[in-house]
């Protein structure tokens, strides 16, 4: 048996390209439907779990899916903005705890989430090293962000500028890292958290600049009328908030008019939840309220439908590929007729010659099965990483 | 010794018929089979090797009547007693030279492939001048080298009967001489009977006996002894 297996192995090794193609085909035939199922099962679990932990999300009217994905996973598709006043309105109604979120900006590919302390309590996020945010311009990092960027408390991260040619737009803000969150196996691990006001500073709605009443700023002042000072573009704007310049930071206008992308609403009971949802059913209402579980279920239905089509397609392609592989084996047997005759002539028994041929087929099938199993295992281990990446795209 | 009597063979279809009333070959002798294509030379080698069975008659190799053996027993007889050499060499392209020489041991579970056998294979390769090509594959060898590999494969199990079907048909004169030297040398040393099919009249003086198959062809009858 060992010798016949050796002959089979030599044949497969000599025809390594043909062997590799056959093994790859069989691997894909087996892996595609199984791996897809594992991936979909994992994504269902993850999507549902995060959605189930989030009772209601209020946002500007538009795509509820975009709103939910951005609020739960900080996806790159930013929903329509709404005024911070909506958060105040929910809180004032007493129908729910209101957690405002502003997730528009990024730093080195990681989302910057502007929110309040309630968010950390709501998600059960703990600071593992350092401390919580205490002042404007500070941030705490999700564990994966800290690991990826190699930063910790005492370091700093800079928000990415949205458009370098937009003078009135978003300037990069250097934020001080004061804490690292404990690993939570959630999208929060990939986010940078700042106070809502810091997010507005990044937006350009709050800023700090040199004191225009100081003598060294005289050259930048264009006019003074009563309390109103007009300066030219050479006035020094701060791109970092420090204890020395924090007093110069200020917001123009009413904060309630500033933007948020969503408000997570956490009603104390079903009744409050129903009343709150009812308030957003009016025709003139500019905001929408989304039930994350319902939205994610609809998304999963779509995914499952797509999966069914893909699996059906994979089965058809798999059957065709298997038929082709069988044809390759049969043609190969025809081409090897002389070789088989030689083996018989020099004394090979039917069983021994058959064992060589069958071993080749079994080895190819086995290699395909093992590779498919390996890929499925990798999918089960790292599928969630792929899902996270897909959701954030 | 080979003793054939009253042998009759056909393929069931077509006109081919081989009839050999009597043919004997002493142990250790060298016999050349000559004759036109289709006269049954190769068929006789296959009959003696037990690859095909006759319709009638007997073939005795030493004490064994090959024609009375079962399929499995004929295969055993072939493994233990017969070395086959083909005109087209019939080497396996996916095996190295060494593995081709060892092939009878790899394909026959009843033959034990041990260190001694490997050593003998290397020695044989050295004797025929291919010791430095053991790890190569047949498609990297010349025609002469390939036939030398085929000869090594045939003689490695030390058969008492060497059946060579036009072993030099594809070789140039120099390689022809070399391969025949190897065959005669082995047959002489081990007292093996060498039966060779050939179309090359120039080689016939090297054989002890020459049997012309014209007389066995079709319905013609004759005898050889």
Single out the residue in A291, A308, A343 at which a domain terminates.
A291
Looking at the structure, do residues A8 and A147 belong to the same domain, yes or no?
A: no
- The pLDDT of residue B225 is 38
Asked if A250 and A275 sit in the same domain, the reply is yes
Specify whether A101 is located in the same domain as A28. Answer: no
Please indicate, yes or no, whether residues A116 and A209 belong to a single structural domain of this protein. Answer: yes
The full DSSP string for B40-80 is SHHHHHHHHHTSS--SEEEEEETTEEGGGS-HHHHHHHHHH
Strand, coil or helix: what is A289?
Answer: strand
pLDDT of residue A87: 93
pLDDT at B31: 93
Average pLDDT, chain A: 86
Residue B139 has φ and ψ, to the nearest 5°, of -70, -5
**Subunit contact B94:A347, Cβ cutoff 8 A:** no
Residues A135 and A182 in one domain: yes
State how many domains chain A has: 2
Nearest chain A CA: its distance from B217 CA (Å): 25
Inter-CA distances, A66 with A60, A71, A341, B197, Å: 11, 8, 67, 85
pLDDT digits (tens, 9 = 90+) for B74-105: 888 888 889 998 878 889 999 999 999 999 88
A83 with A13, same domain? Answer: no
* Residue of B69, B72, B93, B94 to mutate for A, most A C-beta atoms under 10 A: B94
Residue with tokens 């590779």: A371
Residue A253 pairs in a beta bridge with: none
Do the chains contact at A10 and B86, CB–CB below 8 Å? no
Report the percentage of chain B scoring pLDDT > 70.
Answer: 96
Mean pLDDT of A228-254: 76
> pLDDT band at residue B219, thresholds of 50, 70 and 90?
very low
Task: Give CA–CA dist A384/A66, Å, rounded.
Answer: 20
| SS percent in chain A: helix, strand, coil, step 5 | 55, 20, 25
Distance from CA of B104 to the nearest CA of A (A): 6
Which residue range is the domain that position A94 belongs to?
Answer: 57-291
Q: Residue B223's pLDDT is what?
A: 39
Task: Name every chain B residue with its beta carbon within 8 A of the beta carbon of A353.
Answer: 107
- Residue at which a domain ends, from A268, A291, A314: A291
Look at residue B172 in the predicted model and tell me its pLDDT: 83
Q: Are residues A102 and A61 part of one domain?
A: yes
Q: Are residues A13 and A75 in the same domain?
A: no
pLDDT in the model for residue B89: 82
Residues from chain B that touch A352, judged by Cβ atoms under 8 A, are: 107-109
Nearest to A342 among B49, B90, B137 (CB): B90
pTM: 0.65
Residues A195 and A314 placed together within one structural domain of the fold:
no
CA-derived radius of gyration, chain A: 31
> Is A338 in contact with B90 (Cβ distance < 8 A)?
yes
What average pLDDT score do residues A307-312 get? Answer: 80
pLDDT (0 to 100) of residue B32: 92
Q: Does residue A156 share a domain with residue A63?
A: yes
Query: Over 50: is that where the pLDDT of A1 sits?
Result: yes
Q: Using CB atoms, which residue from B99, B108, B113 is nearest to A352?
A: B108
- The last residue of one of the domains, among A237, A258, A291, is A291
How far are the Cα atoms of A38, A155, A159, A175, A185 from residue A149, in angstroms, in the given order?
Answer: 30, 10, 13, 14, 18
Same domain, A145 and A269: yes
B143-155 vs B173-190: helix crossing angle, rounded to 10: 10
Residue A96 pLDDT:
93
Q: How far apart are CA B56 and CA B65, in angstroms?
A: 13
Do A123 and A248 lie in one domain? The reply is yes
Cβ contact (<8 Å) for B108 and A348? yes
């Amino acid at each position: 048996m060992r010798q016949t297996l050796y002959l089979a192995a030599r044949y497969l090794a000599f025809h390594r390209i043909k062997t590799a193609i056959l093994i790859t085909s069989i691997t894909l035939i087996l892996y595609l439907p199984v791996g897809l199922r594992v991936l979909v099962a994992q994504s269902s679990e993850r999507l549902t779990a995060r959605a189930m932990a989030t009772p209601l999300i209020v946002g500007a009217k538009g795509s509820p899916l975009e709103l939910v994905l951005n609020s739960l996973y900080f996806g790159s598709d930013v929903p329509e903005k709404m005024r911070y006043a909506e958060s105040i309105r929910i809180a004032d109604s007493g129908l729910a705890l209101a957690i405002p979120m502003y997730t528009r900006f990024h730093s080195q590919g990681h989302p910057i989430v502007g929110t309040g302390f309630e968010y950390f309590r709501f998600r059960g996020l703990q600071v593992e090293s350092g401390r919580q945010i205490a002042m404007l311009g500070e941030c705490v990092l999700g564990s994966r962000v800290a690991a990826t960027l190699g930063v910790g408390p005492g370091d700093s991260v800079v928000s990415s500028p949205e458009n370098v040619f937009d003078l009135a737009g978003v300037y990069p803000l250097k934020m001080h890292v004061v804490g690292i969150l404990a690993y939570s196996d959630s999208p929060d691990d990939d986010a940078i958290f700042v106070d809502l006001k810091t997010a507005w500073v990044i937006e350009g709605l709050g800023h700090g600049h040199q004191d225009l009443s100081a003598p060294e700023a005289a050259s930048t002042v264009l006019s003074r009328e009563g309390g109103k000072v007009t300066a030219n573009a050479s006035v020094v704007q701060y791109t970092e908030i420090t204890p020395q310049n924090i007093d110069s930071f200020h917001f123009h206008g009413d904060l309630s008019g500033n933007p948020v992308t969503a408000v997570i609403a956490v009603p104390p009971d079903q009744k409050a939840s129903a009343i709150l949802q009812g308030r957003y059913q009016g025709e003139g209402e500019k905001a929408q309220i989304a039930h994350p579980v319902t939205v994610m279920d609809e998304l999963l239905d779509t995914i499952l439908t797509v999966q069914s089509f893909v699996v059906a397609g994979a089965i058809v392609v798999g059957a065709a590929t298997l038929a082709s592989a069988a044809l390759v084996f049969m043609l190969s047997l025809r081409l090897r007729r002389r070789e088989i005759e030689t083996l018989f002539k020099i004394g090979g028994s039917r069983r021994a010659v058959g064992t060589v041929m069958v071993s080749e087929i079994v080895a190819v099938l086995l290699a395909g099965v093992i590779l498919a199993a390996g890929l499925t295992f990798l999918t089960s281990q790292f599928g969630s990483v792929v899902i996270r990446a897909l959701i954030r795209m | 010794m080979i003793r054939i009597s009253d042998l009759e063979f056909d393929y069931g279809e077509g006109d081919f018929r081989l009839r050999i009333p009597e043919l004997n070959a002493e142990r250790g002798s060298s016999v050349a089979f000559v004759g036109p294509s289709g006269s049954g030379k190769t068929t006789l080698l296959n009959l003696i090797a037990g690859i095909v069975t006759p319709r009638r008659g007997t073939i005795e190799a030493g004490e064994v009547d090959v024609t009375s053996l079962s399929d499995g027993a004929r295969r055993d007889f072939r493994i233990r007693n017969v070395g086959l050499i083909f005109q087209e060499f019939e080497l396996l392209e996916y095996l190295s030279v060494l593995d081709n020489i060892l092939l009878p041991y790899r394909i026959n579970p009843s033959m034990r492939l041990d260190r001694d056998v490997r050593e003998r294979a290397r020695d044989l390769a050295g004797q025929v001048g291919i010791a430095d090509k053991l790890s190569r594959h047949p498609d990297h060898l010349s025609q002469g080298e390939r036939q030398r590999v085929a000869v090594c494969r045939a003689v490695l199990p030390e058969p008492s009967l060497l059946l060579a079907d036009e072993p030099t048909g594809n070789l140039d004169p120099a390689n022809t001489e070399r391969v025949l030297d190897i065959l005669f040398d082995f047959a002489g040393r081990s007292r093996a009977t060498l039966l060779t099919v050939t179309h090359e009249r120039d080689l016939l003086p090297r054989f002890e006996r020459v049997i012309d198959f014209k007389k066995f062809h079709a319905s013609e009858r004759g005898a050889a002894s």
